[in-house]
Amino acid sequence: MSPLVILIRMLRHTTVLCLFLISTLAIAQAPYVAPTDTAVASKLERWKDLKFGLLMHWGPYSQWGVVESWSICPEDEDWCKRRPEHGATYNEYVKNYEALQTTFNPVKFDPDKWAKAAKDAGMKYVVFTTKHHDGFCMFDTKTTDYRITSPQTPFHNSPRANVTKEIFTAFRTQGLWTGAYFSKPDWHSPDYWWPYFPPKDRSVNYLPTKHPERWQAFKDHTYAQIEELMTGYGPVDILWLDGGWVRPLSTIDTSVSWQKAITIEQDIDMPRIATMARKHQPGLLVVDRTVGGEYENYVTPEGHVPDADLGVPWETCMPMGTSWSWVPNEQYKTTDEIIRTLVSVVTRGGSLLLNVAPGPDGQLDSTAYVRLKEVGEWLKVNGEAVYGTRASKYNAPAASLGASESSKTTKGGKEQHFMYIFLDGSATEIRMDMHALRGKTEVKLLGSTSPLKVQKTVDTGVVQIPADPGSARVRVLRISARLPIGMKKL
Ligand code: GLC
């Protein structure tokens, strides 16, 4: 082989190797980074105990009963189609969409009622859309007129016009934690969608590298809005940042289809934002969704429950109906579906952030209240198997819906271990794959006072489940033991 051919072959191999390395680097998503700030770490541990929260999407878009914000995004997606009656052309549509501000007057807004319903439902925290991608601020910002308290918005006359403040106060009064949903992109800001160019897709519509002053102005705008939220609204527990395409380009995970389409550097300077936010709100949880790294204190699978514990703190967000925002004639999930979703989340070690959307007048649909009440009734009996638990380290019995566990030290200083086995309403017998129920154990159904008999063989425990003709709901079998429960480890 001639030296030239050898050289060409070597070069070819190096190129292939380089391309391979570049592509593997490009799809390497930033891993989860546990917080080192002890205030954040301890808050995160307490957050993991809460398990069940309320997400609310609300804004002027609720008047049209359309998807939140997305219909003004010029991407051709079936789920954010523009209806012709709202404007014949794109520009006309956006004009009409933004004019929704001038008719938004949710006079029946009653956050105390929402907060009581959430509390009775067993929810422990709220996350409210202070600003969605469309840029409309549901708080009293000084940065823009496109806000709920602007003289252009009829609701500004209400003593409750600063709705974010009212909501946070009402929920806090009921003992719930507060979270600010905040979208990093802002489709109303001239520094994100510069009116000089038409918007092309969800991203910034100019090159921040070519127009750094404009991008800096956008960074400052975002920083200022978040600072307002972190200073004028009492203690905030969670900063829930949506719009994951606003991020350093190097963190893009090209194995995710929507991320693959993001080609513009949109680094918003999260270290600066998070440092400021935590200066005002020590221990604040920051959830920079989908970005990975140190500002995503927990991860947020959307609309589905992962097949197994993710091994890092996580929360599924899911609408109670079919849409994040209010739509007419919403089809709500049944109470049973909601409970089973909560059960699958809890047995896999996560939390459920269930979305309920207020309508244009500021009321929740009556069906939503019924669901909340019924879930609450179930949790009053079975909440012990939910709050403060972790995914069980042991195999749950095959016929069950899964298991959670917790431990505590009794007043007398004795360790007590609990395993909660979630059962289908129709379950009649449960066979536990136990090596032994060692020491003093007790097995009972939550909500009943009498313990159940366990027929033990060498490595199996069989419990007959008394029929409960009154309800087909999930029931929970609790095993309490002095020694760690000896099921087979996963
Ligand atoms: C999705 C939607 C967004 C919504 C969010 C809630 O990212 O695009 O509109 O706010 O889910 O989790």
* Burial status of residue 120 (CB atoms within 10 A of its CB: 0-12, 13-18, 19 or more): middle
CA of 444 to the centre of ligand 1 (A): 41
* Burial status of residue 263 (CB atoms within 10 A of its CB: 0-12, 13-18, 19 or more): exposed
What single letter denotes the amino acid at residue 345?
Answer: V
Closest-lying ligand 1 atom to the alpha carbon of residue 129 = 10
Query: What pLDDT, on the 0 to 100 scale, is given for residue 23?
Result: 40
CATH 2.60.40 spans which residues of the chain? 392-481
Which of 1.10.1740.10, 3.40.190.10, 3.20.20.80, 1.10.645.10 would CATH assign to domain 3-385?
A: 3.20.20.80
Query: What pLDDT, on the 0 to 100 scale, is given for residue 83?
Result: 96
Please tell me the distance from the alpha carbon of residue 61 to that of residue 432, in angstroms, as a whole number. 51
**Beta carbons of 265 and 208 less than 8 angstroms apart:** yes
Does the Cβ of 77 fall within 6 Å of ligand 1?
Answer: no
CA of 202 to the centre of ligand 1 (A): 13
Does the Cβ of 240 fall within 6 Å of ligand 1?
Answer: no
Please tell me the distance from the alpha carbon of residue 212 to that of residue 82, in angstroms, as a whole number. 33
| pLDDT tens column, 420-462 | 999 998 889 988 876 546 667 899 999 998 999 988 877 788 9
Query: What pLDDT, on the 0 to 100 scale, is given for residue 488?
Result: 56
Query: What pLDDT, on the 0 to 100 scale, is given for residue 459?
Result: 75
Q: What phi, psi does 8 have (nearest 5°)?
A: -60, -45
Query: What pLDDT, on the 0 to 100 scale, is given for residue 163?
Result: 98
CA of 309 to the centre of ligand 1 (A): 22
Neighbours of 147 (CB within 10 A): 24
Query: What pLDDT, on the 0 to 100 scale, is given for residue 171?
Result: 99
CA of 59 to the centre of ligand 1 (A): 14
Query: What pLDDT, on the 0 to 100 scale, is given for residue 27?
Result: 42
Does the Cβ of 317 fall within 6 Å of ligand 1?
Answer: yes
Query: What pLDDT, on the 0 to 100 scale, is given for residue 17?
Result: 43
| pLDDT tens column, 340-380 | 999 999 999 999 999 999 999 999 999 999 999 999 999 99
Q: Any idea which architecture 392-481 has in CATH?
A: Sandwich (2.60)
| pLDDT tens column, 188-234 | 999 999 999 999 999 999 999 999 999 999 999 999 999 999 999 99
Please tell me the distance from the alpha carbon of residue 299 to that of residue 316, in angstroms, as a whole number. 8
Please tell me the distance from the alpha carbon of residue 337 to that of residue 333, in angstroms, as a whole number. 6
Please tell me the distance from the alpha carbon of residue 253 to that of residue 251, in angstroms, as a whole number. 6
Most ligand 1 atoms within 8 A of CB, residue of 300, 315, 324 to mutate: 324
Query: What pLDDT, on the 0 to 100 scale, is given for residue 335?
Result: 98
Does the Cβ of 302 fall within 6 Å of ligand 1?
Answer: yes
CA of 162 to the centre of ligand 1 (A): 23
Question: Which regions in the chain score pLDDT beneath 70?
Answer: 1-29, 434-439, 486-490
466: left (phi over 0), alpha (psi -120 to 50) or beta: beta
| Among the listed residues 329, 283, 401, the one whose alpha carbon sits nearest the alpha carbon of residue 47 | 283
What percent of the residues of the chain are helix, what percent strand, and what percent coil, each to the nearest 5? 35, 20, 50
Task: Give all strands of the β-sheet with 454-456 in edge-to-edge order.
Answer: 429-432, 461-464, 454-456
Rounded to two decimals, the pTM is: 0.93
| DSSP for residue 361 | T
Does the Cβ of 61 fall within 6 Å of ligand 1?
Answer: no
Most ligand 1 atoms within 8 A of CB, residue of 138, 241, 302, 351 to mutate: 302
Query: What pLDDT, on the 0 to 100 scale, is given for residue 434?
Result: 66
CATH 3.20.20.80 spans which residues of the chain? 3-385
Of all protein residues, the one whose alpha carbon is nearest to atom 11 of ligand 1 is 302
CA of 243 to the centre of ligand 1 (A): 8
Closest-lying ligand 1 atom to the alpha carbon of residue 243 = 7
